[in-house]
Structure formats: structure tokens, C-alpha cells
Amino acid sequence: MNSQPGKLYRLQYNGHAIYALGDPHGFRMLARPPFGALETTSKVVSPREVRILAPVEPSKIIAAGLNYRNHAQELSMALPEEPLIFLKPPTAVASPGESIHLPPSSQQVEFEGELAIVIGKTAKDVPEAEAGQYILGYTLANDITARDLQKRDGQWTRAKSFDGFCPLGPCIALEIDPNTFTFTTHLNGELKQTGNLADMIFPIPRLVAFASSVMTLLPGDVILTGTPPGVGPLRTGDRISIESPDIGILENSVI
């Protein structure tokens, strides 16, 4: 797995998790975690020596429900007047390449490709205009959902929280252009979703401001920004990948 220069990675290296910046020759180790100033070292490790991990270990994962106009239309739902948020537990995080287990209690597990915001510093009651100062960068996420349990339970905790139900990665892009950013979801190589941030109902600064008006956001926390149309079921043996030229490919297999 090659790195993308200038992107931020969390890696398994010599039995430890390290942070590194993508480099033309591999991965350049950081002196410390990237929350605060990014300080690189002279050490570059080879792609052969590492395994790419989910890029953060969040204290919590906040997720926006309906946040794409065309997805709301697909579901014949009225546009929400304020963000609908829910939580996924940190134990749901999976790394790129990690296998996702289908829980026996669900017969309808679905993928949801999403852009994820990574928080860079402690944030509480942040105004929208200042939200960018609290964002470290952006990664890709799969908000895996047991749809049958979501409908049956009424509230979403069980449906969204199984171990492995939040693949994140493969890296953190420190900047994206929300006017042009797109991502896609492929199931076994077939295009299923295209996300275009211009279709978002609540843009990135609004989501950060709204979430921080409810709870204190800590460095490494993640906000999933909602899924575009085209969600669908996952079955044993599937390969599901969320891809963006700016961030790379987040692929997981289903077992």
C-alpha cells in the first residue's frame, strides 16, 4: 500500500501505532500525535513495514442522519430543519482491510458511504464561522447499519453500534474543497453511491457547530456527515469500498 504525499496516516509499525505523513518514499513518522502542530521526524518507514490503521481512535463518533437532499427525495422525506445526530461507539471503528462480521441478530445489514470530519482540538459551542479552526482534516467512513434492527428498535443504538460497523480511513486529508469534493461507494466493484458535498443539507461548519453545541468535541473525535442515495445490503463475501481521489480507498470485506 503506497502513501499519498502530505496525507496523515496512523500505522501499525513494530507492534505500535504511530502517526506519519505520506511521503514519496513511504511514510514519514511524526514526533507526536497530530493534534496541535504537526512535527515530522527524519525517519521514513517503508510501506512493506506497516499496516494502515483507522486514522484516529475517537472518544465518540457523532453521525448525521438525513443530510443529502437527493437522499431525502429518494426516501420521500421532508428536509430536516436542523441536523439529526446519533452516536456510534468507539468500539465500532474498523481499519482499512479489516473484515466486517455480519451479526446473527440482523438479516439486513447495509453500507452507507460517508465523508467524515476529524476534530483537531477541544471544541464546545463553536460558532459556524470558526468551525474550520477545530477541524484537523477529513477521512472516509462506512456507517454500517442493521436496517431491520433500526426499524424494529425505533432508536438507533443497536443498529449502528456492532463491532466493526464504522470502518474509517485510509488517511486524513488535511484540506478538501467542499465545492468540488466527491466520493463514491463500490460494492464488489460496482458503483452504488456518488457523494457530492454540494448536495448536503447541512454543510460541514454547521455540523461542527451543531454537535459542539450539544457535547464537547475532543481531539480525534469524528463526525460522519450523512450518506448520499444508493445504500444497499451487505452479504458474506462482499467487498465494499468508499473511494475519493483526495483520501484514497477504504475497502473492507464482509464475513
Site residues for Mg ion per CB under 5 A = 112, 143, 227
Least Å distance, CB 226 to Mg ion, is: 6
HEC string of the chain equals CCCCCCCEEEEEECCEEEEEEEECCEEEEECCCCCCCCCEEEEEECHHHEEEECCCCCCCEEEECCCEHHHHHHCCCCCCCCCCEEEECHHHEECCCCCECCCCCCCCEEECEEEEEEECCCECCCCHHHHHHHEEEEEEEECCEEHHHHHHHCCCHHHHCCCCCEEEEEEEECCCCCCCCEEEEEECCEEEEEEEHHHECCCHHHHHHHHHHHCCECCCCEEECCCCCCCEECCCCCEEEEEECCCEEEEEEEC
Least Å distance, CB 70 to Mg ion, is: 15
Give the residue nearest to Mg ion (CB).
Answer: 143
Least Å distance, CB 81 to Mg ion, is: 19
Least Å distance, CB 64 to Mg ion, is: 7
Complex with Mg ion: residue 112 or 246, whichever CB lies closer: 112
